[in-house]
Amino acid sequence: MNIMIIEDQRDVVEMLRLNWSDSRDRLDSLASVRQANRFIHSNELAAYDCILIDINLVDGSGLELLRDARSRSDVPIIMISGAGDADSRADAISVGADDYVMKPFSVKELRARVHRLHDARLSRVSPRQNIAFKIGNIDCDIGGLSLDCNGTSQPLTALEARILQVLHDNAGGDCPKSCIARQALFREHDPRDKTIDVYINRLRGKLAELDPASGDAIKTIRGVGYRMSDANR
């Protein structure tokens, strides 16, 4: 999982990194509302599986970040607070938070909450995430978030896996960007948004690194979207 921490207390961020015992997870961090605003309004938001936001940041309100992020994505969001009561928790939940934790907190418990929210989201929006298929000579394990070929593996993010699944479901036919946006990004397609193009290029790179011939399996259909070869469908 890719997890973004929006927290201005460096000791809290370091404590999370030192005690987050699941090495499969990647923890990134931002320390201000200004930095977080750029992140939320960029294509990178779609690359993360969970966001942790401190309610009281040095240059503004984490609740406003929550509101903005929720308007753009259904990514699980957990709010962190050093002070608060039932009303503040209710405010965060009403704005769109999936969970709320108080400092000091158990990193083990927080990690469990993050994974629970992630698993619930996958089962809710994509119940077929356990499928597997081949692209050329490459085995695609959607549930395991991996690409495998001749003993070599490449990890997939949850978004990359969803995009591959959508392309596979439409293999042999044109797959419009609007379809990919709705089924993989969970939002309507904006022609100005290059998120899909960025991730298609990343997927092509991962496929080509494992097997150069399989890297050509995803074709660009100009003015429409993409097409995946149906040879191994």
For the domain bounded by 2-125, which CATH number is listed?
Answer: 3.40.50.2300
Q: Would you place residue 233 in the very low, low, confident or very high pLDDT band (cuts 50, 70, 90)?
A: very low
Average pLDDT of the chain to the nearest whole number: 86
Query: What does the pLDDT read at residue 84?
Result: 63
Residue with token string 């406003």? 64
CB atoms within 10 A of CB 5: 21
CA dist., res. 44 & res. 136, Å (int): 28
Classify domain 132-228 at the CATH topology level. Arc Repressor Mutant, subunit A (1.10.10)
CA dist., res. 169 & res. 62, Å (int): 38
Percent of the chain with pLDDT over 90: 47
Helices within 75-223 (DSSP H only): 86-95, 107-125, 158-169, 177-180, 195-210
Same topology for domains 2-125 and 132-228, yes or no?
no
**How does strand 225-228 pair with strand 218-221?**
antiparallel
Q: What is the mean pLDDT of residues 97-107?
A: 89
Q: Where are the domains of the chain?
A: 2-125, 132-228
Q: Give the tens place of pLDDT for each residue, 14-54.
A: 999 999 988 889 999 999 999 999 999 987 888 899 999 99
Own/partner contacts of 88-95, CB < 8 Å, gap of 24 or more, are 88/55, 91/63, 92/55, 92/63, 92/66, 95/63, 95/66, 95/67, 95/70
Residue 6 has pLDDT above 70, yes or no: yes
Q: What is the mean pLDDT of residues 175-200?
A: 83
